[in-house]
Amino acid sequence: MAAFGSFALLIALALAAYNLLAGALALRLLVSGQPARFSPERLADTARRAGIAGFLAVSAAAFALIWSVFANDFSITYIMEHSNRALPGAYKFSALWSGQEGSLLLWAWLLGVFGFVLRLTHKTDVRLYAYAGTILAGIQVFFLAVLNFAAPPFALLKGAIPEDGNGLNPLLQYPEMVIHPPLLYLGYVGFSVPFAFALGALMMRYPGEKWIKVTRAWTMVTWLFLTAGIFLGMHWAYAVLGWGGYWGWDPVENASFMPWLTGTAFLHSVMMQEKRGMMKSWNVWLIFSTFLLTLLGTLLTRAGLVSSVHAFAQSSIGNWFVAFMLIVLAVCIFTYVLQRSHLKSDHHLESLVSRESSFLFNNLVLLTACFVILWGTLFPILSEYVVGNKVTVGAPFYNRVAVPIGLFLLFLTGVGPLLPWRATSFKSIRRNFVLPVIALWGTVIVCFIAGVRVWRDGAFSTGDFYALVAFAVSAAVFVAILSEFLRGAGVIARQTGRNLFVATWLLTRRNTRRYGGYIIHIGVVVVVMGLAGAAFNQNQEKELGLHDKLLIGPYTLECVGFTQDSNLNYNSEYALLDVYKGGAKQFQMTPEKRVYLASSQPQTMVAIHSVPSWDLYVVYEGTNPDSGQPIIKAFLNPLVGWIWAGLVVMVFGTFVALVPSLTPASAALRVPAVRTVPTEPALKGGD
């Protein structure tokens, strides 16, 4: 199977190279109009078919690796290092992305999937798709070259073949690890598609903004994958690493967050181009940057430039990535310089206080956040280079610098939709902002009544202050969005006589993109509320003998026993903890410590009881070597469940935004066009 896999990868590389060269030649002939011995259209079609065949070849290689994992073929180095006989089936599958070579193969395969779909739908716009397909082929050539020559997944083990493998890293033996990396990779790889379309459209001086409409669904789905991937990674860190948190500003986390920020900026500003023909150069560079950041993130974590607890796949492929990034950057700059006259804006901003400028400021803040994270991630390298002294840039730096920026962004999330297009007046601002401002100050008062204080133990608490601001701004943004829904729904309800619920449904169906976007913003608000809850975390650590008790928040944890278990994959120790609240037993928790046999590595399995107001999070830390007593650490983490709930809302909002809006004909069938109410409040925001 190793020979089959290697051969499939080689064929895939040859097909991708043909796709790139034949595609480029065909497009060159089509543009120049030079006579040729063969038809450029037919040549372009052979290139497209080579791309489809290339996808099949990469699929065959991926299949060969998965087959080898399940067949326990330890003659392959990768399988020996990342699997063992006792590894459960689901985790054997996830071995595909648990190491350097496998994850690059996954990347190439996903790129093949995206390319396959793109090439099958080429009739949408044959010329534009030919450009995009050829650019994707160029990216695929890079990944397949790395797989064939720098990080071959089917490399054979030298010497005697061992009876069993080293096993999968225990940190990765968790259900979410079966879906988190593929989602994240779908996000990373997916941005190759809008990048290819943007670069292709620029190369061919594509008229109008149709390419944006063509790629809108691609971009949104990609953004959704990246968002879901990041959140699942947070949940994995929360449930597996056992430190009670979910985001540590680790370089790997940062690497996934940076393209998310620029991708989010692109999703917003591209609407300006679509609607008003503005920010064309800006958008092109945003998507170029997003693609480059997906590569940079991979470079940072794979090349060993920065250390990370999340980096499971490190090697010396950094030079390959640097070279490829430089080539991509050179192509982008060259194309931009050559075609920049095509990117002249149709309109300019007319006022500092308008919907357009709110998009611009939103972009500015998102890019500043991206810069802060990039800066913090790279500063240790810079410091070592300049003063010869490596420093750590950890959570305290980001909490001081990035959190205020995040809160400002949240503020803009609420303000933007309240501003009308082109220009506004103080009167309009006052009218639209009354309710959100009331909500803001109302929340501040409620927080004070509930006991939130920015002074704790005689000192100013930055965390509590940020939490208070986050709660207040979140409430204001939520009210602002809700009032937008109610204004529009109120008009439709009056026009059609339907109730407010049906009117809201009709309103959303009439402009799914706008109101889907608002739902995503509500999801962001819910997430921010959950994040702000971290300011009020509590924790207790105690050695617990039999029937000893640990108090945390309203809960009392009583140790009722300890036990051990073992299977072919690991040995484990459990603590059995009865949890009481108000004197009555509520439930039992079983935090666990495992030692995996193949790797001899220990791993915590956190016990989490989640309710909307908080998570009770219990860790079995091991035993005290002096007393032999188990050590239990309990956390009470307020509002953590809101973070995951917010993701669900964001996913729902994205699906809504992806649904096509009602056409004028069908809208007319559902909503009678009553024109007797010309100045309804629903449109005041647009006045």
First to last CA, the chain: 67
In whole angstroms, what is the distance from residue 529 CA to residue 38 CA?
62
Q: Interface with another protein includes 498 (CB under 8 A)?
A: no
Q: Interface with another protein includes 271 (CB under 8 A)?
A: yes
Stretch that binds another protein, among 130-138, 149-157, 193-201, 270-278 (CB under 8 A): 270-278
Among 35, 159, 207, 458, binds another protein (CB under 8 A): 458
Q: Of residues 396-415, which lie at the interface with another protein (CB under 8 A)?
A: 396-397, 400-401, 405
In whole angstroms, what is the distance from residue 7 CA to residue 347 CA?
54
Phi-psi region of 566 (alpha: psi -120 to 50; beta: other; left: phi over 0): beta
Among 63, 93, 465, 562, binds another protein (CB under 8 A): 465
Instruction: Measure Cα distances from 53 to 49, 57, 110, 333 in Å.
Output: 6, 6, 14, 31
Q: Which two tokens stand for residue 617?
A: 């999070």
Asked if 659 and 516 count as a contact pair (C-beta separation under 8 A), the reply is yes
Report in angstroms how near the CB of residue 646 gets to another protein at its nearest: 19
Q: Interface with another protein includes 393 (CB under 8 A)?
A: yes
Asked if 98 and 165 count as a contact pair (C-beta separation under 8 A), the reply is no
Helix (H) or strand (E) holding 376: helix 355-387
84 vs 363, beta carbon nearer another protein: 363
Report in angstroms how near the CB of residue 369 gets to another protein at its nearest: 9
Q: Residue 53: what residue type?
A: A
Mention every residue, 6+ apart, whose C-beta is less than 8 A from residue 379: 391, 393
Per-residue x/- marks for another protein, 560-589, CB under 8 A?
Answer: ------------------------------
In whole angstroms, what is the distance from residue 680 CA to residue 489 CA?
11
88 vs 686, beta carbon nearer another protein: 686
Asked if 287 and 215 count as a contact pair (C-beta separation under 8 A), the reply is no
Q: Interface with another protein includes 38 (CB under 8 A)?
A: no
Report in angstroms how near the CB of residue 361 gets to another protein at its nearest: 7
Among 390, 453, 547, 581, binds another protein (CB under 8 A): 390
Q: Interface with another protein includes 112 (CB under 8 A)?
A: no
532 vs 618, beta carbon nearer another protein: 618
Collapse the DSSP code of 349 into the 3-class scheme (helix H, G, I; strand E, B; otherwise coil) and give the result.
coil
Q: Of residues 528-557, which lie at the interface with another protein (CB under 8 A)?
A: 541
Q: Which two tokens stand for residue 365?
A: 């803040």
Q: Interface with another protein includes 325 (CB under 8 A)?
A: no
In whole angstroms, what is the distance from residue 148 CA to residue 571 CA?
39
587 burial via Cβ count (<10 Å: 0-12, 13-18, 19+): exposed
Q: Of residues 592-621, which lie at the interface with another protein (CB under 8 A)?
A: 593, 602-604, 619, 621
Among 165, 190, 194, 248, binds another protein (CB under 8 A): 248
Q: Of residues 70-109, which lie at the interface with another protein (CB under 8 A)?
A: none
Q: Residue 446: what residue type?
A: V
Q: Residue 209: what residue type?
A: E
Report in angstroms how near the CB of residue 74 gets to another protein at its nearest: 27
Instruction: Measure Cα distances from 348 to 92, 207, 280, 306, 487 in Å.
Output: 55, 19, 11, 42, 29
Report in angstroms how near the CB of residue 380 gets to another protein at its nearest: 8
Mention every residue, 6+ apart, whose C-beta is less than 8 A from residue 457: none
Q: Which two tokens stand for residue 284?
A: 């092109």
Among 28, 350, 441, 668, binds another protein (CB under 8 A): 350
Asked if 464 and 456 count as a contact pair (C-beta separation under 8 A), the reply is yes
Stretch that binds another protein, among 112-120, 224-232, 333-341, 386-394 (CB under 8 A): 386-394
- Three-state SS across 419-431? CCCCCCCHHHHHH
Q: Interface with another protein includes 448 (CB under 8 A)?
A: no
Report in angstroms how near the CB of residue 364 gets to another protein at its nearest: 5
Report in angstroms how near the CB of residue 682 gets to another protein at its nearest: 8
In whole angstroms, what is the distance from residue 665 CA to residue 213 CA?
21
Q: Interface with another protein includes 625 (CB under 8 A)?
A: no
Among 454, 502, 597, 651, binds another protein (CB under 8 A): 454
Among 274, 548, 558, 578, binds another protein (CB under 8 A): 274
382 vs 434, beta carbon nearer another protein: 382
Stretch that binds another protein, among 147-155, 161-169, 181-189, 349-357 (CB under 8 A): 349-357
Q: Interface with another protein includes 346 (CB under 8 A)?
A: no
Which of the 8 DSSP states describes residue 676?
S
158 vs 348, beta carbon nearer another protein: 348
Among 63, 93, 174, 243, binds another protein (CB under 8 A): 243
DSSP one-letter string for 531-595: HHGGGG-EEEEEE--TT-EEEETTEEEEEEEEEEEE-SSEEEEEEEEEEEETTEEEEEE--EEEE
Name beta bridge partners: 76. Answer: 156
Q: Of residues 644-673, which lie at the interface with another protein (CB under 8 A)?
A: 661-664, 667
Among 37, 123, 344, 427, binds another protein (CB under 8 A): 427
Q: How many residues bind another protein (CB under 8 A)?
A: 93
Collapse the DSSP code of 116 into the 3-class scheme (helix H, G, I; strand E, B; otherwise coil) and give the result.
helix
Stretch that binds another protein, among 25-33, 142-150, 342-350, 444-452 (CB under 8 A): 342-350
Among 102, 417, 436, 490, binds another protein (CB under 8 A): 417
- Three-state SS across 238-266? HHHCCCCCCCCCCHHHHHHHHHHHHHHHH
32 vs 538, beta carbon nearer another protein: 538
In whole angstroms, what is the distance from residue 113 CA to residue 226 CA?
17
Among 33, 89, 160, 426, binds another protein (CB under 8 A): 426
Helix (H) or strand (E) holding 609: strand 607-611
Asked if 259 and 293 count as a contact pair (C-beta separation under 8 A), the reply is yes
Among 423, 500, 576, 597, binds another protein (CB under 8 A): 423
Report in angstroms how near the CB of residue 261 gets to another protein at its nearest: 14
In whole angstroms, what is the distance from residue 507 CA to residue 338 CA?
44
* Tokens 């790279």 belong to residue: 378
Q: Interface with another protein includes 277 (CB under 8 A)?
A: no
215 vs 603, beta carbon nearer another protein: 603
Report in angstroms how near the CB of residue 274 gets to another protein at its nearest: 7
Among 376, 406, 523, 646, binds another protein (CB under 8 A): 376
Stretch that binds another protein, among 79-87, 287-295, 371-379, 443-451 (CB under 8 A): 371-379
